[in-house]
Structure 1
Amino acid sequence: MTLVVAWTRKTHTGRELWMLSDSRLSGGKIWDYGPKIFGIGRSDTIIAFAGDTSWTYPLIAQISSYVESFINLRDRVVDVADLCKQIIQMLNDSLSFVKDTAHPSMAIPACSFIFAGYSARRKDFFVRRIEFRSKSKKFVATPPKTYGRELVAYVGDEEPVKATVRRVSEILKQSRVKRPKLDMVPAVAFFEVLSSGKFRDIGGAPQVTKVYEHMNIRHFGVYWPPNVSNEEQEIFLRGRLLKTHEVLDHPWVYDPVLAKLCWHDFSPGQLRDPTVVKLTQPLITELTL
């Protein structure tokens, strides 16, 4: 199934939004190769899902098709906050076309989403959890939790989500700083839960995507698995193992153990130099892409 977390953090140059997901698909099998974080046809917005893929993939396809079909949506004339409302309406309209279900329960969407982007009108990041309410029989959007000025939202299976929320709280409480920053704490908690092996519903390589204040998104490759040496690790992008001939769009790869981005060059075949990684860690910590 799924674990997704999205949050905002302050850097020395501004603020940014991170979204992390696992890569496990299930349903009679385990398939640790499924993309779960998507762009939707415009540069300022991403969406991730949790739940039954017989619902989630068709609905995300509907969302992307909807945005790409209208110039005012794909060219960002419509602000991301208004786009969210229109998407909710479109999702609810789509439910009226569900028919001939083998069982009445199959007409109820067993899924949820995190919709996130940068609102030019509000001059701030916009994050919403989208979930189906059985009483009203409608999809609704709910605001994220807040920590200081920062936003944080989760979707996924109950147990790994609870474990991640609990771990975030523990890390913040353990800080010696009076008012600790959220910073990369959700990423640390996410990795601990994902790599613990305690939750069969989540697995595979993490997926990492960021949204920037300049209204652009970027997907990052991830070093995986974490329990081998740097030389043995490979790069996964959006849940898929990269081949040596596949050139990255940018030279930054996420290390989930360090919760940092590492300079890698553009080719997955170019291995990290452990010495260089150690020397550049302080710089990487402060670097904002």
Structure 2
Amino acid sequence: MTLCAAWIRDTGDSEELIFCTDSTLTGGEKWNHGVKLFELPRKDCLICFAGETYRAYPLILNLISALKHDRKLNNSMLDIHDVLNRVADNFTELVNSIFDLPFGNNENIGSEAKFLFGGWSWKDSKFRVWRLDYNVGIGAFIETEEFLGKIGKVAFIGDPDGDNLGTNIPEIALAKLKEIRTNSDSFDGKLGMEPMEVVVKMCRDSGVREVDGALQIGKIYKSGTNEFFGIRWPSVINGKHTFLGKNYDIFTRPTVKYFDPDSCEILEEELPTKLPMLEDFEKSEGFEFILDAYSGEENGLRSNLSEPERNRLISIFKEYSYKKFLDNLTESQNGEYD
């Protein structure tokens, strides 16, 4: 049981493709640490699934293996649309090779899982996302490109997604997205992080048993590269660092950026806004860089620091603090022997 979303986020001066899923797996039991968003050997695409895990996992693992070992398929000169065709053919071949079927009704064999696959198309110079479903009638996986233009370029898949009123997960998600867009008077077709807000709300809603656990988040950039993110779940104050559905402590957490589920913004490590004692860092490596970063009024931090500059400052301060700790420890130990 699942909710997956993929959408094109407008960043003002560019765009990026974001995938977001929940983490719950059900099937007689419930487990909130299942990986549903997968990094592939090709860095210009991602895939996620909804439906039965026993059907989805073998297909995705076969895809990862094919991309890893097939040079043509892993060649960035092959456009994402051509990769999609190979994915659909590969999934079809695998599902149609199933034998020793169980007794009973087997007419839906192969259709137990559905997928969102997408990435950056260098041929079309745009992001593309397809839904992959197994069509029992023709015995093949069919790809459908479906972005909801009026609301924004977004696609949802989920499970269940039947006709029963109030239980169709993608329809519930779409209704919540429409509500968010209406309340904010946003009708320009440009999306920010609203689909993530929807997934957060449904994961926190105890009435929606099928959608639960920490969010799994990945982005694809126009450079043909991707980035995965963690999230503090269920909140920054009362939550843990999670990554791809798993909880981590501060010592073992992956070195990725983490989202705040309430603001749907990336949590930045704090930097002091002023550094009155600049001379303390004169012997530090990168002192000239520190002077430039704190060139504002009264040694204030520049407001236009780039992300790499912020990360460099954090590294310098951490190294300085650790060296200071060692110096103090050595001084203390030497004092014991005097």
* Deviating more after overlay: 70-79 vs 124-133: 70-79
Is contact 2:47–2:118 with CA below 8 Å preserved after alignment? yes
Corresponding residue of 2:144 = 142
Taking the aligned partners of 2:197 and 2:237, their CA distance within structure 1 comes to 22
Count of residue pairs brought into register by the alignment? 264
Is contact 1:167–1:189 with CA below 8 Å preserved after alignment? yes
Matching residue's letter, 1:172: R
Over 3 Å counting, the alpha-carbon distance change for 1:53 and 1:177 in structure 2 is: closer
Corresponding residue of 1:237 = 243
Matching residue's letter, 1:7: W
Over 3 Å counting, the alpha-carbon distance change for 1:77 and 1:50 in structure 2 is: same
Alignment of 1:28-43 (within 5 A): 28-43=28-43
Match of 1:258 among 259, 263, 267: 263
Q: SS at 1:97's partner residue?
A: coil
Taking the aligned partners of 2:251 and 2:189, their CA distance within structure 1 comes to 42
Is contact 2:203–2:212 with CA below 8 Å preserved after alignment? yes
Gap runs ≥5 in structure 2: 162-167, 271-302, 305-338
Is contact 2:213–2:245 with CA below 8 Å preserved after alignment? yes
1:63 correspondence with 2:63: yes
Matching residue's letter, 2:268: W
Is contact 2:152–2:189 with CA below 8 Å preserved after alignment? no
Matching residue's letter, 2:262: V
* Deviating more after overlay: 176-185 vs 137-146: 176-185
Gap runs ≥5 in structure 1: 266-281, 284-289
Two-structure CA RMSD over aligned residues (Å)? 2.2
Taking the aligned partners of 1:8 and 1:136, their CA distance within structure 2 comes to 31
Matching residue's letter, 1:53: T
Please report how far the alpha carbon of residue 154 of structure 1 lies from its aligned counterpart in structure 2 after TM superposition. Answer: 1.0
Is contact 1:172–1:182 with CA below 8 Å preserved after alignment? no
Match of 1:127 among 129, 150, 157: 129
Taking the aligned partners of 2:260 and 2:129, their CA distance within structure 1 comes to 25
Taking the aligned partners of 2:262 and 2:124, their CA distance within structure 1 comes to 34
Taking the aligned partners of 1:249 and 1:126, their CA distance within structure 2 comes to 29
Please report how far the alpha carbon of residue 180 of structure 1 lies from its aligned counterpart in structure 2 after TM superposition. Answer: 6.0
Is contact 2:4–2:157 with CA below 8 Å preserved after alignment? yes
Taking the aligned partners of 1:171 and 1:243, their CA distance within structure 2 comes to 33
1:212 correspondence with 2:217: no
1:174 correspondence with 2:179: no
Taking the aligned partners of 1:2 and 1:221, their CA distance within structure 2 comes to 18
Taking the aligned partners of 1:178 and 1:223, their CA distance within structure 2 comes to 30
Over 3 Å counting, the alpha-carbon distance change for 1:16 and 1:33 in structure 2 is: same
Over 3 Å counting, the alpha-carbon distance change for 1:75 and 1:150 in structure 2 is: farther
Taking the aligned partners of 2:44 and 2:146, their CA distance within structure 1 comes to 18
- Give the structure-2-normalised TM-score: 0.73
Corresponding residue of 2:172 = 163
Corresponding residue of 1:91 = 91
Matching residue's letter, 1:127: V
Q: SS at 1:135's partner residue?
A: coil
Over 3 Å counting, the alpha-carbon distance change for 1:149 and 1:50 in structure 2 is: closer
Please report how far the alpha carbon of residue 190 of structure 1 lies from its aligned counterpart in structure 2 after TM superposition. Answer: 1.8
Larger Rg: 2
Is contact 1:147–1:182 with CA below 8 Å preserved after alignment? no
Matching residue's letter, 1:205: A
Please report how far the alpha carbon of residue 93 of structure 1 lies from its aligned counterpart in structure 2 after TM superposition. Answer: 1.2
Corresponding residue of 1:188 = 197
Match of 1:249 among 255, 263, 269: 255
- Give the structure-1-normalised TM-score: 0.85
Q: SS at 1:42's partner residue?
A: coil
Is contact 2:173–2:198 with CA below 8 Å preserved after alignment? yes
Matching residue's letter, 1:261: I
Task: For CA contacts below 8 A with separation 6 or more, give which structure has more relative contact order.
Answer: 1
